[in-house]
Amino acid sequence: MSAYVIETVLESKTATRAFSFGHITDSHLVFSDATDDERKTKNVESRRGCFENPSGLSIQTCFEEQTTFVKNECDFALFTGDILDFPAKTSLAFFRDTMKDIPFLYAWGNHDWNYAWEHEDRALLPSRTALYASYGVENPEMRADEFGGVIFVGLNNTDYQFTEEECAFAEEQLKKGKDVIFYFHIPLYAKTLCPDVVSYWGKPIVVGCDEKGLSPVKPITDATVHMLNVLEKYRENVLAVIAGHIHFSHEDETPFGCKQYVTEAGCYGTLRRFSVVPKKGCESNVG
């Protein structure tokens, strides 16, 4: 396999056993078929050139290699969005067929649920959620799943914000006292992350950037501040924050004291294997 695998170990005080999952993000699958109109077909042509892999592998081959690795080496896949470059049925069919025997969790990326000219209109979400469900992707908007004593919480922050509903949901999960892994598309602001993001993208495409001289992509809302406060309040229970969107890998602590892991875009050939291991000496691991 030519895919590059970053190895990350998480020690959990509530994990009941060791397990692993493969983090894949920003694959940007670009497909079209004869049913697409002229605008969508042209979009495919222009977008395909944006994601050339240095090793010369196609986006599809990268995705197939990475998911085969997950199938053989991990318990499940965790997707943090932009797996599709836009919600084409051909791409969804490819995703469904490739993931046929592989369990996965999926959080929306901004590209997954809308075409560039739709400008992330939230009114589209119900129909796009239904479309994804018909291809086996269940609730990429907001969900919680427990695996081996650790809770995985997936949220939708594709407009650089969280909602009050997500705050309440996150707090409800954190109150259970188990370690929680949050996964969503857009990373949270971190001091060492911001300069690299600005030099790569020309603007701070992260959540909650408040650095002097840098205009945030969107001014932070009260609900997003609330979410950051919730994460800070329960930081002992936040095992990791996992995100994508910026297309390069980065690890750092966020200002509220939790470790954040961002993985390079899957279309460039990278995935990250997280190995969760029970922390020695924690009684809650027993049984």
Q: Which residue is nearest to Fe ion (CB)?
A: 82
SS3 70: helix
What mask, x for binding Fe ion by CB under 5 A, covers residues 228 to 247? -----------------x--
CB of 29 to Fe ion, least distance (A): 11
149 is a site residue for Fe ion (CB under 5 A): no
80 is a site residue for Fe ion (CB under 5 A): no
166 is a site residue for Fe ion (CB under 5 A): no
Question: How many residues sit in the footprint of Fe ion (CB under 5 A)?
Answer: 5
| Between 109 and 208, CB nearer to Fe ion | 109
Considering Cα of 192, then 25, then 227, then 205, what sign does the dihedral take? positive
Query: Among 27, 110, 129, 270, which residue interacts with Fe ion (rule: CB under 5 A)?
Result: 110
Buried b (16+ CB within 10 A) or exposed e, 214-249: bebeeebbeebebbbebbeebeebbbbbbbbbbbbb
Give the whole-angstrom CA distance, residue 60 versus residue 78: 18
182 forms bridges with which residues in the sheet?
153, 241
| Between 91 and 110, CB nearer to Fe ion | 110
Query: Among 13, 23, 26, 193, which residue interacts with Fe ion (rule: CB under 5 A)?
Result: 26
CB of 49 to Fe ion, least distance (A): 15
Give the whole-angstrom CA distance, residue 276 versus residue 10: 5
CB of 179 to Fe ion, least distance (A): 27
Instruction: Return the DSSP state at 137.
Output: -
Q: Give 3-state DSSP helix, strand, coil % of the chain, rounded to 5.
A: 35, 25, 45
23 is a site residue for Fe ion (CB under 5 A): no
109 is a site residue for Fe ion (CB under 5 A): yes
27 is a site residue for Fe ion (CB under 5 A): no
User: SS3 sequence, 6-63?
Assistant: EEEEEEECCCCCCEEEEEECCCCECCCCCCCCHHHHHHHHHHHHHHCCCCCCCHHHHH
| Between 114 and 254, CB nearer to Fe ion | 114
156 is a site residue for Fe ion (CB under 5 A): no
187 is a site residue for Fe ion (CB under 5 A): no
Contact residues for Fe ion, defined by CB under 5 A? 26, 82, 109-110, 245
